[in-house]
Amino acid sequence: QVQLADSGGGLVQAGGSLRLACAASGRSLSGYSMGWFRQAPGKEREFVGVISWNGGNTLYADSVKGRFTISKDPAKIMFYLQMNSLTPEDTAVYYCAKSKYYAGTIYPGDYDYWGQGTQVTVSS
């Protein structure tokens, strides 16, 4: 069983920064990529980025590339999403998720465990 707990959301002004955290626990984590997704009201869940288990490979959505960075703390099995230069369009509930596969993908259906979500609101 895998458990994911994401945190760190909040209210920030446009241009500001936030760092989200995802605490992962469970027996079936090792080797699998970890992703971040977001969902704004009335919209479908959207891929943000993904990191390989060893932290050596990352992939980002074009909308966040150059502003967001995913990292991993292997000692604590924690994953982070550093978000800089935030805009109101980044307002959403953000979720961390475990991939079903060693290689991460952009499709929500390829992820089998999800955090509860953390709200990020960017004011203009």
- Model confidence pLDDT, tens digit, residues 17-62: 999 999 999 888 889 999 999 999 999 999 999 999 888 899 999 9
**pLDDT at 76 (0 to 100):** 74
**pLDDT at 30 (0 to 100):** 87
Nearest to 29 by CA among 59, 5, 1: 1
Long-range contacts, stretch 60-64, CB < 8 angstroms, 24+ apart: 61/106, 63/89, 64/90
pLDDT digits (tens, 9 = 90+) for 87-115: 999 999 999 999 999 999 999 999 999 99
| Helix or strand (DSSP H, E) at 23 | strand 18-26
**pLDDT at 72 (0 to 100):** 92
**pLDDT at 55 (0 to 100):** 86
What's the distance, CA 27 to chain centroid?
21
